[in-house]
Amino acid sequence: MRATLEAMFIGYHASHEQLAPSELLSSVQLAERVGFHGAMCSDHLAPWGVAQGHSGYAWSWLGAALALTRFGFGVVTAPGQRYHPAVAAQAIATLAEMFPGRFWAALGSGELVNEHVTGDPWPEKGERDRRLDESASVIRRLLHGERVDHDGAVRVHDARVWSLPTAPPLLVGAAISPGTAERVAAWADGLITTGTDASALADAIGAYRAAGGRGEVSLQVHVSIARTADDAAALARDQWRHGAVTRVSPWDVAQPEDFDRLAAESDADPAESVIAGAEPHEIADRVRALCAGVDRVYLHHIGKDQRRFVEEDAPALIAALEEGS
């Protein structure tokens, strides 16, 4: 497995939960100019905490972001409840047709904070997994031009996507646990995961590969960079407080206010859930230590001042990562 960042793709993660869509659009244009190789974004209806304060619609934003840049983009999305898989397939196909070879979508089983708005019951994890598997199959078939009927965890009636790209985009599996990584290997064109525990990441990546998982492995890493280490930790405690929610499943929390309450009741330190510090070389060393078996790393600075991060911190961080390759 890969042990260094040799030939590593270093991407920028655009967090819709923390910036207004217009500001995030400026940030991703800057990210391309300073040397990031590509970008990815979240797809939330709500942020994880009140202090984050935003949650723009990813699909509208992606059209603008792709039009105003030249590098590639991905999105992590959850078909099956808030998005019917046929609607998700149409959105994916439209972006892939307009921007050939530049767009991919990662499919996950979702979070209650985004999905509860439909008023439908929130299924247990096993049912959500089955719904994701079926949604992924429906989306792939639609992207290949099939007419689809399906009756299972999701229902589809005689669906067809009319505007198709020349080549279907990659459908990546989003997973954190080894069990989920093993399951998505059956249909995914690659894996995307996140975390700061090298052993846990190795277990998830190993499970994906052992199950026959193909394609590239991408890692999203949350970092907090500030003038001092104390400032970086304080920033994490303000903006990433949901990282302290460990006694209940964060996938089963309904409102940003609930995340804030649960974090306040927790003994965990949100700063421990991100890579926090002041020195780019130190941050780079800690990121590199997570990257065994990883082909792409997407860096997410968890602060709201993305312009300062991209213009001042990111070039040094990218250089430090490349120096250590």
Q: What is the pLDDT of residue 2?
A: 42
Phi, psi of 214 (to 5 degrees): -110, 170
189-205 burial: b if 16+ Cβ within 10 Å, else e: bbbbbbbbeeeebbebb
**d(C-alpha 302, C-alpha 282), whole Å:** 17
Task: Report pTM.
Answer: 0.96
> Hey, which residues are catalytic here?
44, 111
In tens, the pLDDT along 181-230 reads 999 999 999 999 999 999 999 999 999 999 999 999 999 999 999 999 99
CA R_g for the chain: 19
Phi, psi of 158 (to 5 degrees): 45, 55
Q: And the tokens for 67?
A: 């039009």
* DSSP H or E stretch at residue 25: helix 21-34
Q: Tokens 């277990």 belong to which residue?
A: 203
Q: What is the pLDDT of residue 8?
A: 81
Residue 5: pLDDT over 90: no
Q: And the tokens for 222?
A: 């949350």
Phi-psi bin for 195: left (phi > 0), alpha (psi -120 to 50), beta?
left
In tens, the pLDDT along 74-130 reads 999 999 999 999 999 999 999 999 999 999 999 999 999 999 999 999 999 999 999
3-state helix, strand, coil in the chain (%, to 5): 45, 20, 40
* Average pLDDT of the chain, as a whole number: 96
294 Cβ partners below 8 Å, 6+ apart?
2, 8, 201, 205, 217, 218, 219
Q: What is the pLDDT of residue 324?
A: 67
